[in-house]
Structures are given as structure tokens and as C-alpha cells.
Amino acid sequence: MRLNIHGLIDNAKCYHMVRQLRWAEGVECPHCHATEVVKNGTDETQSDRQRYLCRMCNRSFDDLTGTVVAGHHQPLSVWMLCLYFMGLNLSHRQIAAELELNETSLQEMTTILRNGIVAQEPTISAPRSPQKGGKMM
């Protein structure tokens, strides 16, 4: 008997987690950064994906607008599982098999995730060490 990993994670839980992480202080418009936002229904294809309307700029957005996974057709749970498997250091072939994707699609997903993670990394500069006499090297 083979365990179906898709059954362990559902989109509703993934979207709930995204909302908690992304908007811990409250929903903010990704376009103008206003907090005068109202719920505006859900996505037609993914009912757990909340839509919003900004009262300041009058633009619509959803839970994923402005994220690395916005505009892609795979369900959020597949993206989360892919990220999890990448963290386990599984090969592309293994991840593709687990997620029931072809390797080309998986390669595109992992590239998007890696590029997005690198783009979000904070820049850390090493402290400069003083030289003799209190002068910097």
C-alpha cells in the first residue's frame, strides 16, 4: 500500500497558514500598502483562496498576489509539499514522483521557489574588526 502524500495536506490549511504568516498584523494591500481592505469573495478555481478589495486604491488582490507562487496553476498544497521535499534534499525525480508531476514542471517549480527564497533573503554584512589603535582595517 502506498501512502498518498496529497491526502495529508489540504489547500484550506495551506491558505490559512499563508494568511497567518503573511498578514500577522492584518491584511495589507500589496499595491498601495493600505490596511483599508475588505474581503471580496473567493477564487473561482480554488475556493480556499480569499480575494480582497482595497478601499484606498480600489484594486483587487488575493492571498497569493505578489508572492512567488502567484499566477501558477498548481494548487498551493503542491507548492508547499515541493518546498518541504526540497528541504529534505530529495532529488527532482523523487519529488516529481511524490507530487505526480513531470520532471520539467517540477524543475520550473523548484527554480521559482529557489529564486524567490534568494530574493527574500536579508543582506547580512559582517562587522568590521578594529585594528590596533582603534582604527578600522
This prediction has a pTM of: 0.75
Edge to edge, what strands does the sheet with 37-42 contain? 37-42, 50-54, 60-62
Q: Provide the number of structural domains found in the chain.
A: 1
Question: Who's near 82: CB < 8 A, 6+ residues apart?
Answer: 95, 99, 106, 109, 110, 113
Residue 108 lies in a domain: yes
Burial zone of 87 (CB within 10 Å; 0-12 exposed, 13-18 middle, 19+ buried): exposed
Residue 52 lies in a domain: yes
Say if residues 24 and 17 touch (Cβ distance below 8 Å). Answer: no
pLDDT in tens, the chain (137 residues): 455 666 668 889 999 999 999 999 999 999 999 999 999 999 988 899 999 999 999 999 999 999 999 988 899 999 999 999 999 999 999 999 999 999 999 999 999 999 987 765 555 555 555 555 555 44
The parent domain of residue 103 ranges over: 5-115
pLDDT score, position 2:
53
Question: Who's near 112: CB < 8 A, 6+ residues apart?
Answer: 68, 69, 72
Say if residues 10 and 77 touch (Cβ distance below 8 Å). Answer: yes
